[in-house]
Amino acid sequence: MTGHVLEYLGEVKLELGGAGGREGSWRVGRDQDGILWLALDKADSRTNTISEAVFRELDSHIAAAEADLPRGLVIRSAKPGGFAAGADIGSFDAMSNGGATEILSQGHDVLDRIEALRCPTICVVHGTALGAGFELALACDTRLITPGASFGFPEVRLGLHPGLGGTFRLTALIDPSEAMRLMLTGKTVHTGKARDLCIADAVVEERHVAAAVRTAARGEIRPQSPGLKARALNIERVRSFAVRQMRSEIEKKAPKVHYPAPHALIDLWEEHGEDRAEMQKGEIASFARLLDSETSKNLRRVFFLRQSLKDAGDGGDGITHIHVIGAGAMGAEIAVMAAIKGKRVTLSEVETEPLGKALKLAAEICEDKHLTRIETRDALDRLMPDPRCYGAGSADLVIEAAPEDLEVKKKIYNGLELKPGAILASNTSSLSVDHLAAKAPDKARFAGLHFFNPVSKVDLVEVVHGSATDEVTSRRLAKFCQAIGKLPARVADYPGFVVNRALTPYLMEAMVLMDEGVPKEVIDTAAMRFGMPMGPVTLADQVGLDIALHVAESLRNSLEKPMAEISDRLRENVEAGKLGKKSGQGFYDWSDGTPYPRASLDDAPDDLTDRLILPMLNACVEVLHEGVAECADQVDRAMIFGTGFAPFRGGPMHYAKSRGVEEIVIRLKALEQAHGARFAPNEGWSTLG
């Protein structure tokens, strides 16, 4: 990106720090038209983040512009990857305990000065402009974007809301209800939608950016004014009605008791929606309060857990061609995601019909991922149906995604001829990697790759190394996962690995509770009030009751520890073909979409929530004690990103330590006495601090 910035600036040389300076995060220069260009290029980082130091340096450049007014000011990025990924989250802890207010106020001052400059200010965005990066763009008069650009406020995922003017600048710029929706959900707005919402004033190809900047500097790109709906929402009673609707919807998805940030944002807009100055003061104070909340601290912890999984897969994987055996739901999505991320993929299946469905699915996933037509075309070109399995012999990585049947998988391995150095991996959710490796062409280059359904939406992949898997193979598979946009959790071979070992007791206990007469709606409501994204009965339906039954039976046959009895209702549903979401009927009717039960817990058993959650925690301690996961954080990573375990609690192990190990052990013993040996606390609890 730096190269083409220099190209369209002609004779202007952008210097770090400006005025010939050699240090800093901004490249600075004036072109022949008297336009001042500021290009953010944060040192020692592949992506730009907005920090206190970045704003301090920007402040000095704005002061220079005020003293020697240019014909226009342009802010953009010199990084190929995008404009700015948001604030430097690593600095948030230092801002806690009262330090945030001063730092935020300084940031507001800089953005206010940009907004007040007596020359046109233009922000050019390529790639993503998130959080503080989006707020920097909003402070400019005009926003020009290149195809593929996107905007978003992901702060809500950190237990926060925008803190550098986003709350009042975005609601003033576009339809306030749309602005609030973006901030409340944390969703990203891509190129076309950004233009339609009037966040972007024009979409231009990179080669035309310089001309578009000159046009904007002449005042010839006019921002659209807020429409009738926006003006109507400034009327207090209309805004109050919208607020009530927002509160109702947000409470369903993010209860205030667990997620205070979206509710605080709604309060801000309701109280100060017509008064920018008051909303600015309120935004700073509210952000500072939320920063010190346990929810935000835990969600920031989750952010760094995700980052550590990404870092585990950093580096080249040496894999350019993958071959996927099996074009069912899992195999097809694995193939599509690899093709989208630039891998050459061959996909084999005995029948041709699933291959046709896989290509159709590929186009749908590309659309869902907001790929351009050219990107979609290229991805589809890289995905080749291969009914005769010719590609297996030339692939760097072969992924077997056949049904969970040991003999079927072994039969596939018997017929495989791989090139020297190629890796074979099984997408297994419950079968032993060591048992499968017995028939693999090369045990050292064999491992499990446990993707989660749906592959295109669940980021986690368990990279399962068997006793014979060599370290190079395990590392390459982790890097492959990262290369296709997934989060690799390296775990050891063990019944259920980490995620299914911990999740199955949770699901099975829900079945036992139903057999005892507790309504499924009550069970699911209790789990969601704890903070799970959906209840265990709904989750079993979504996973597939046949898969849930298979995993439960596999664990019962593999573990010495007692498990809950497998429910007759579960078996009956599977035998009747009522498999959950994929068949339209399971424990719930799915004809109207995902069920969202909300039941009263007044008559629920007193120990209901602990009966669901503590077996999960007990299993987490077991896999840690057995060395299946390398550390407690690895367990938390796997459970948060594989199951959605209540993120605001920081993960099951973090929650256990916060609640108190001694208290949980006492509670498990009480449940053991009341309900049976399946609740007996694992001996690993004694080693936790």
pLDDT, tens digit, 9 for 90 and up, residues 88-130: 898 888 887 778 999 999 999 999 999 999 999 999 999 999 9
- Give mean pLDDT, residues 491-498: 96
Does residue 228 surpass a pLDDT of 60? no
- Give mean pLDDT, residues 198-209: 94
Determine, yes or no, domain membership for 305: no
Predicted local confidence at residue 253, as pLDDT: 84
Residues 282 and 426 in one domain: no
Catalytic residue, candidates 462, 509, 521, 622: 462
Residues 464 and 543 in one domain: no
Positive or negative CA dihedral for 134, 135, 138, 139?
Answer: negative
Predicted local confidence at residue 133, as pLDDT: 96
User: Residue 245's domain spans which residues?
Assistant: 2-294
CB atoms within 10 A of CB 30: 16
- Give mean pLDDT, residues 545-558: 90
Predicted local confidence at residue 689, as pLDDT: 65
The strand pairing partners of 463, in sequence order, are 449, 490
Does residue 630 surpass a pLDDT of 80? yes
Does residue 476 surpass a pLDDT of 80? yes
Catalytic residue, candidates 450, 465, 550, 654: 450
Q: Which has the minimum average pLDDT: 255-269, 339-353, 555-569?
A: 555-569
pLDDT, tens digit, 9 for 90 and up, residues 177-193: 899 999 999 999 999 99
Determine, yes or no, domain membership for 301: no
Does residue 456 surpass a pLDDT of 60? yes
Residues 337 and 280 in one domain: no
Q: Based on the residue annotation, tell me whether 298 is a catalytic residue of this protein.
A: no
Predicted local confidence at residue 23, as pLDDT: 55
Residue that has been written with the tokens 């008069």 in this structure: 141
Q: HSE-up of 416 (CA within 13 Å, CB side)?
A: 29
Boundary-marking domain end, from 492, 508, 537:
492
- Give mean pLDDT, residues 530-540: 94
Does residue 16 surpass a pLDDT of 80? no
CATH code of 378's domain? 3.40.50.720
CATH code of 555's domain? 1.10.1040.50
Bigger pLDDT: 509 vs 236: 509
Residues 81 and 228 in one domain: yes
Residues 278 and 331 in one domain: no
Residues 143 and 263 in one domain: yes
Determine, yes or no, domain membership for 302: no
Does residue 8 surpass a pLDDT of 60? no
Would you call the peptide bond into 454 cis, given omega within 30 degrees of 0 as the criterion? yes
Predicted local confidence at residue 6, as pLDDT: 42
Amino acid at 105: S
Residues 25 and 87 in one domain: yes
d(CA 32, CA 13): 11
Does residue 17 surpass a pLDDT of 60? no
Q: Place 348 in a pLDDT band, splitting at 50, 70 and 90.
A: very high
Contact residues for 261 (Cβ-Cβ < 8 A; gap 6+): 155, 156, 159, 160, 161, 290, 295, 296
Q: Based on the residue annotation, tell me whether 450 is a catalytic residue of this protein.
A: yes
Q: Place 562 in a pLDDT band, splitting at 50, 70 and 90.
A: confident
Mean pLDDT score of the chain: 91
Predicted local confidence at residue 19, as pLDDT: 41
Predicted local confidence at residue 151, as pLDDT: 97
Strand-by-strand arrangement of the 15-16 sheet: 15-16, 26-30, 35-40, 72-77, 121-125, 142-145, 202-203
- Give mean pLDDT, residues 516-535: 95
Determine, yes or no, domain membership for 304: no
Boundary-marking domain end, from 428, 463, 492:
492
Catalytic residue, candidates 296, 429, 567, 618: 429
Predicted local confidence at residue 225, as pLDDT: 63
Q: Which has the minimum average pLDDT: 150-164, 361-375, 605-619?
A: 361-375
pLDDT, tens digit, 9 for 90 and up, residues 260-295: 999 999 999 999 888 899 999 999 999 999 999 999
Residues 88 and 200 in one domain: yes
Q: Which has the minimum average pLDDT: 131-145, 510-524, 551-565, 639-653?
A: 551-565
Does residue 13 surpass a pLDDT of 60? no
- What is the greatest pairwise CA distance in the chain? 82
pLDDT, tens digit, 9 for 90 and up, residues 295-326: 999 999 999 999 888 876 666 889 999 999 99
Determine, yes or no, domain membership for 300: no
Total domains in the fold of the chain: 3
| Number of residues that make up the chain | 689
d(CA 428, CA 431): 6
- Give mean pLDDT, residues 7-25: 51
CATH code of 204's domain? 3.90.226.10
Does residue 648 surpass a pLDDT of 90? yes
- Give mean pLDDT, residues 248-262: 91
Share of the chain above pLDDT 70, in %: 94
Determine, yes or no, domain membership for 423: yes
Residues 420 and 455 in one domain: yes
Determine, yes or no, domain membership for 349: yes
Determine, yes or no, domain membership for 299: no
Q: Which has the minimum average pLDDT: 38-52, 233-247, 614-628?
A: 233-247
Residues 512 and 563 in one domain: yes
Catalytic residue, candidates 474, 500, 618, 682: 500
Does residue 500 surpass a pLDDT of 70? yes
Please answer whether residues 84 and 136 qualify as being in contact, where contact means their C-beta atoms are separated by less than 8 angstroms: yes
Boundary-marking domain end, from 492, 525, 552:
492
Q: Based on the residue annotation, tell me whether 323 is a catalytic residue of this protein.
A: no
d(CA 436, CA 423): 14
Q: Place 15 in a pLDDT band, splitting at 50, 70 and 90.
A: low
Predicted local confidence at residue 181, as pLDDT: 93
d(CA 605, CA 611): 10
Residues 402 and 507 in one domain: no
Residues 324 and 451 in one domain: yes
Q: Place 22 in a pLDDT band, splitting at 50, 70 and 90.
A: very low
